[in-house]
């Protein structure tokens, strides 16, 4: 096997997906699986399909195209606001898109109509996270923007995002506001908007507690399925597997060296000034993975006695002195061995995007 590797245990991902699908289904909430966590890998989309998810969602059209070409039959949702440069590509790839700019929606309507197909649009509403979406005071006039659509796009509902840009947490109160905004839009447009969609994994907590308004009927998730984590609420989700993904890197040098550099310390290549504690001579393992491949601040060593020291673009340096002393002697770690890490969400995202990290489904 070539390293570094992002190892994905399929059975554990599938188990997490099924648990979430069953829990949400009991409240008549459809689950759409976000695939960007593994860079739109069709193998993840296939697991979502097997688990009973209702669709796949990604922020990149290129990822959705890969999924379509793979033969996964789930509807495809573009969850990032479309760029003008992407619009002509959408009818062939995107079934549903989240949009907030009237000009973009009208242009999409023209493009889809010209191609003889219909695309669905969910209107994004900003309930306070201050990323994308209509600000509530814009909603009473929304009907003026969309009454002249040609039938290329159909506005089927509203959507909101939580805990991404500003960390706004979902609550019964702001979800009730989202429902009221949907109702306001229905009055303005003079037709029904059946879908109310929320994202992401942080919404599961309210679903667990049955505190979601009954009108909310779609949730977009990723982190919970892949990592069993909910970063927004800073919790490990107790009913989900938390070891479905690991990052494995190979030792390319293993030597005893001082714990403090010699000479004056400036800024390293990423503009940071590292701080070192003098612990004497230590055994240091140099791994063939670096900041170009992974967010090194968001990985956790899985093996006892391994501590991250620092990293450059191509290398991760770990202290393995204590691992040697507590395990099987001086040569517990040696050249060619591998060390495993648990990725948190930013590390998973970066590793799956790097062409130098192999995604291995097992």
Greatest C-alpha distance within the chain = 75
**pLDDT at residue number 327:** 57
The per-residue pLDDT for range 306-346, each reduced to its tens digit, is 999 999 999 999 999 998 666 555 678 999 999 999 999 99
Average pLDDT, the chain: 95
- Please state which CATH number belongs to domain 245-361: 2.40.30
Region label for 130, one of left (φ > 0), alpha (ψ between -120 and 50) or beta (otherwise)? left
Q: Is 159 exposed, middle or buried (0-12, 13-18, 19+ CB in 10 A)?
A: buried
pLDDT at residue 329 in the model:
52
pLDDT at 326: 60
Cα gap 58→80, rounded to integer Å: 8
Domain limits, the chain: 10-236, 245-361
Its pTM stands at 0.95
- Cα separation, 323 vs 320, in Å, equals 5
- pLDDT at res. 7: 98
Helix (H) or strand (E) holding 186: helix 172-189
Percent of the chain topping pLDDT 90:
87
Give the pLDDT band (50/70/90) at residue 77: very high
Does residue 324 contact residue 305 with C-beta atoms inside 8 Å?
yes
Contact 259, 280 (CB under 8 A): yes
Is the pLDDT score of 88 beyond 80?
yes
pLDDT digits (tens, 9 = 90+) for 244-301: 999 999 999 999 999 888 888 777 777 778 788 889 999 999 999 999 999 999 999 9
Does the structural domain 10-236 have CATH classification 3.20.20.10?
A: yes
Residue 234 has pLDDT above 70, yes or no: yes
């Amino acid at each position: 096997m070539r390293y570094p590797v992002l190892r994905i245990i399929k059975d554990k991902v599938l188990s997490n997906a099924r648990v979430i699908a069953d829990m949400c289904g009991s409240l008549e909430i459809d689950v759409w699986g976000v695939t960007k966590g593994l860079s739109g890998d069709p193998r993840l989309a296939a697991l979502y399909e097997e688990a009973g998810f209702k669709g796949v969602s990604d922020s990149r059209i290129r990822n959705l195209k890969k999924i379509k070409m793979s033969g996964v039959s789930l509807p495809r949702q573009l969850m990032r606001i479309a760029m003008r440069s992407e619009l002509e590509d959408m009818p062939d790839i995107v079934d549903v898109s989240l949009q907030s700019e009237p000009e973009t929606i009208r242009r999409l309507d023209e493009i889809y109509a010209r191609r003889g197909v219909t695309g669905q649009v969910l209107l994004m509403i900003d309930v306070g996270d201050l990323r994308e979406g209509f600000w509530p005071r814009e909603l009473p006039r929304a009907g003026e923007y969309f009454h002249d659509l040609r039938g290329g796009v159909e506005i089927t509902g509203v959507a909101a995002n939580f805990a991404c840009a500003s960390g706004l947490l979902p609550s019964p109160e702001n979800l009730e506001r989202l429902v009221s905004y949907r109702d306001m839009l229905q009055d303005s447009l003079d037709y029904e908007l059946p879908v109310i969609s929320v994202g992401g994994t942080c919404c599961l907590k309210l679903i667990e507690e049955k505190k979601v308004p009954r009108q909310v009927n779609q949730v977009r998730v990723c982190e919970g399925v892949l990592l069993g984590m909910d970063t927004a609420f800073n919790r490990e989700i107790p009913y989900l597997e938390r070891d479905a993904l690991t990052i494995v890197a190979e030792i390319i040098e293993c030597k005893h060296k001082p714990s403090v550099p010699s000479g004056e310390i400036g800024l390293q290549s990423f503009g940071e000034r590292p701080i070192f504690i003098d612990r004497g001579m230590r055994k240091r393992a140099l791994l063939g993975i670096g900041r170009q491949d992974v967010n090194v601040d968001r990985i956790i060593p899985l093996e006892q006695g391994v501590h991250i020291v620092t990293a450059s673009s191509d290398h991760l340096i770990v202290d393995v002195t204590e691992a040697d002393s507590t395990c099987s002697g001086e040569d517990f770690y040696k050249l060619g061995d591998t060390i495993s890490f648990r990725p948190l969400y930013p590390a998973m995202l970066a590793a799956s995007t790097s062409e130098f990290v192999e995604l291995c489904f097992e």
